[in-house]
Structure 1
Amino acid sequence: MGAEENLKSLPLEDLHKAAGARFGGFAGWSMPITYPLGVMKEHLHTREKAGLFDISHMQLFDIAGPEAVALLSHICPLDADGLAIGQSKYTFFLNEQAGILDDLIVTRLGGDHFMVVANAGNAAADEAHLRDVAKDFDCRINALDRVFLAIQGPQVVDVLRVAGVPGTELAFMHGFEPKPGWFMSRSGYTGEDGFEIGLPADDARELVTALLADERVAWVGLAARDSLRLEAGLCLHGHDITPEIDPVDAGLTWAIAKPVREKAGFIGAKALLDKIAKGPARKRVGLKPDSRQPVRSDSILVDIHGNAVGVVTSGGFGPSAGFPVAMGYVGKDFAPIGTQVFAEVRGNRVALHVHSLPFTSHRYHKG
């Protein structure tokens, strides 16, 4: 049996097939990569109107109990008790070396009740890690079986209002449970305003039908989701962040509050504090090719003399930026904006310059 046959199917796969999706494997799932609109138009449609994404490959964990706060404050570099009810926070699972096992969004739904959104490729490992650490804490962990949808773009608020979906008053990085079995947050992975909604499959079919009845809404596949997040300078776990990369080199220590660092009660605290004290050995940067040729992940970066100075971790074309875009890691001496480096691409050298991140401005709702 081939690997293709072992891929898990999305609960709404029939709807994607009916919409003409082209499928491909990602993180163990058969995922819609593009629709007939095509990756370029799907990307631009999200930036201009409202893109609808099926992200049911991602995993929701419902965590509750008297020591849920203590568990999350230990397993993540996070002050879970400092979160207001309804507040969401970007955080991580770290290993003892402060490498990033996964990046997550944690939302406080009640005093001792939290929702954690984890990445698809790490779902099984995350669950095992959570359950192993939670053995010492009085709380329960429930891996939810939900359809998970994202709707992203400047017209999403009006689209959801027309469809009668509650929650459009949420501030960015806040979430709640609008109905039994539902979870909704104002967040996303595109740099645009938007929402992510986890809900039972029958409710999801009804919601999708209502949303697609609005001409401003179009299905958007994984390919455009990747170009959107890359333009927004957002990391993809397994590429831009990995268990071998720590938040210091990744430029993500902003997600770890100073009091959390000082308390040092989280897994990997000693290694992280040592790395913060030493400073980054390398830095995650934006990269803009001087030509129209995109560079891909794993391309080695060299200086003008051919000495290796870094690696590309994500790359492609930025439809909104209008030019190829990439992210990668370079030695700190090569990190200043405008520094020239070269990518080794099939025996040729492609010139790039270090570029500020993001490539396109974030348009999150801050109200």
Structure 2
Amino acid sequence: MNKNVYKNDEMKRREHMAVRKSVGWYFWTHQLLQVKGEEATAFLDLIFPNSIANLKVGSARYTTMLNEKAEIIDDVIVFRMEDQKYWISTLFINKLTDWLSNFKKAFAVKYSDISENYQMFAVQGPRSKDLINAIVENNVDDQKFFTIRDNKIDGIDVKINRGGFTGEKFGYEIYVLPEDMAIIEEKLRKEGEAFDAVEVTDVQIMAWSLPTEAGFYYMRNLMHTNPLEVGLDEGINWNKEFVGKEALLQIKEKGPTREMVGFTLDEDDVRINAMDLGGPGTPVMLNGEEIGRVSKFTYSFVLEKNIGYILCMKNTVKPGDHVAIKTYDAVITEKVFI
């Protein structure tokens, strides 16, 4: 990656900063798996380490999914749509269904791919609530984070989820039938003018620069790691059984050997390979010894510098320390940059 691809690209800057300063909207549809049946709750409570049984109808929860070695094999959002009906939002639905099939036979549960039934628009930023309220029939003033509600736009049935992948306090997702997409898009475009809304068109902004500033991962950052190494253990229910629990308890007892840390890098014209682009990532050196690899690397328009994550040996660095990445001098930071 070359820093100037971001720094000097005014389109990228405009789209990124619209989300941070006003509101940006974009088409961004994940795959959706619907899970239902008499034992849907018990089934998902076994599959995921975070609690599913105490999730209220109309609420959502982020959770990892582990294999028997306690390695993260997916990270998803689980929506409880009805008492025994759930949506799981993922980017890897085929792998998800294959994994669920390993445990399905013991439960009265069915699941199906409903990805083609819904499309999704993300509306993110400080003025996103204003824009959403301008287009929906029932305002979202009292809608809490990670809740999903039925609503209408110009008489069209939609579902509004308060959430997103940008780290903004106010962000919403509009789930709509494919045949109604064009109407919703035009509504966002027209009503958004009053709120300085910008359509985000660059996937590098949606997927790299915005999420990285907020400390969010992609699955490629999480491959072959466990929740304790990457700080995703909050919310794990250790009092229930879940796939990977025994191995994760052993890791917890001994302590993880690696950790994910943030870093910044000031130089221009930087070329660094990160794990999220495939491969092992560029080595990170401290006092002439390799201590880790670059997991994610992008540019922050808010900080006006390169930022990223390093998967490194536990307790080898702390915020403020300097490490070498190729010939570049990088400074260790927390993972959340904004």
Tell me by how many angstroms 1:37 deviates.
Answer: 6.4
CA distance in 2, matches of 1:218, 1:300: 37
CA distance in 2, matches of 1:157, 1:112: 30
Task: Please report how far the alpha carbon of residue 184 of structure 1 lies from its aligned counterpart in structure 2 after TM superposition.
Answer: 2.8
Amino acid corresponding to residue 136 of structure 1 in structure 2: A
In the other structure, the counterpart of 1:202 is 179
Match of 1:261 among 238, 257, 265: 238
* SS, match of residue 256 in structure 2: coil
Give the corresponding residue for 1:282. Answer: 258
1:157 pairs with one of 129, 144, 153: 129
Match of 2:15 in 1: 42
State which of 113, 126, 135 in structure 1 corresponds to 2:85. 113
| Other-structure match for 2:282 | 299
Over 3 Å counting, the alpha-carbon distance change for 1:248 and 1:134 in structure 2 is same
- Displacement of 1:178 after TM fit? 3.3
List runs of 5+ in structure 1 lacking aligned partners: 1-35, 361-367
> Within the alignment, does 1:273 sit opposite 2:249 as a pair?
yes
SS of match in other structure, 1:189: coil
Distance (whole Å) between structure 2 residues aligned to residue 167 and residue 127 of structure 1: 36
- Secondary structure at 1:171's aligned position in 2? coil
Query: Cα offset for 1:139?
Result: 1.9
Instruction: Give the aligned partner of residue 365 of structure 1.
Output: none
- The match for 1:229 is 211
Q: Distance in 1 between matches of 2:72 and 2:259?
A: 15
The residue type paired with residue 310 of structure 2 is G
**CA distance in structure 1 between the aligned counterparts of 2:205 and 2:167, rounded to whole angstroms:** 13
Which residue does the alignment assign to 1:142?
Answer: 112
Matches of 2:93 and 2:137, distance apart in 1: 28
Cα deviation, residue 247, structure 1? 0.5
Q: Residues 200 and 340 of structure 1: is their aligned pair in 2 closer, same or farther, counting only changes over 3 Å?
A: same
Does the 8 Å CA contact 2:260/2:309 hold for their aligned counterparts?
A: yes
Q: Please give the residue correspondences for 1:1-367 in structure 2 after superposition, counting only pairs within 5 Å.
A: 38-56=11-29, 58-119=30-91, 122-144=92-114, 145=116, 146-164=118-136, 166=138, 168=140, 169-178=142-151, 182-192=158-168, 193-213=170-190, 214-215=192-193, 216-220=196-200, 221-225=202-206, 226-238=208-220, 240-242=221-223, 244-256=224-236, 260-263=237-240, 265-292=241-268, 294=270, 295-297=272-274, 298-304=281-287, 306-344=288-326, 349-360=327-338
Over residues 284-316 of structure 1, what are the superposed CA-to-partner deviations in whole Å (9 max), with x where a residue is unaligned?
011111434544411110112x21100111111
Same amino acid, percent of matched pairs:
25
CA contact under 8 A between 2:48 and 2:64: conserved in structure 1?
yes
Following the alignment from structure 2 to structure 1, what is the Cα–Cα distance between the partners of residues 97 and 54?
24
Report the AA paired with residue 123 of structure 1.
I
User: Conserved in 2, the CA contact under 8 Å of 1:290 and 1:353?
Assistant: no
Alignment deviations for residues 211-261 of structure 1 (CA, whole Å, 9 cap, x no partner): 0112132221211121000011101111x211x1110111110131xxx21
Asked if the contact 2:320/2:333 (under 8 Å) is kept, the reply is yes
Task: Give the stretch that moved more between structures: 287-296 or 87-96.
Answer: 287-296
Provide the rounded CA distance (Å) in 2 between the counterparts of 1:323 and 1:165.
42
- CA gap of 1:150–1:332, structure 2 versus 1, over 3 A, is same
Q: Which amino acid aligns with 1:253?
A: D
Letter in 2 for 1:55: W
Residue by residue, what CA displacement relative to the aligned partner does 1:69-124 show, whole Å, maximum 9, x if unpaired?
Answer: 011101111221111222211102111111111101112222212221112xx221
TM-score, with length taken from structure 1: 0.80
Q: Following the alignment from structure 1 to structure 2, what is the Cα–Cα distance between the partners of residues 312 and 166?
A: 45
Q: Report the residue type matching 1:311 in the other structure.
A: R
Aligned residues: 312
Checking the alignment, whether the CA contact within 8 Å between 2:72 and 2:227 is kept in structure 1 is yes
CA RMSD of aligned residues (A): 2.0
Separation in structure 2 between the aligned mates of residue 52 and residue 332 of structure 1, nearest angstrom: 38
Structure 1 CA distance, aligned partners of 2:102 and 2:312? 35
Cα contact 2:322–2:331 (8 A) shared by 1: yes
Q: With CA pairs under 8 Å and 6+ residues apart, which has the higher RCO, 1 or 2?
A: 2
What TM-score, normalized to structure 2? Answer: 0.87
Higher mean Cα deviation, 186-195 or 211-220? 211-220
Does structure 1 conserve the Cα–Cα contact (< 8 Å) formed by 2:159 and 2:174? yes
Residues 196-224 of structure 1 deviation map (CA, whole Å, 9 limit, x = unaligned):
22221122211111001121322212111
The secondary structure found in structure 1 opposite 2:174 is strand
Higher mean C-alpha deviation, range 131-140 or range 42-51: 131-140
Structure 2: distance between partners of 1:321 and 1:204: 35
Residues 292, 355 of structure 1: alpha-carbon distance in 2 compared, 3 angstrom cutoff = farther
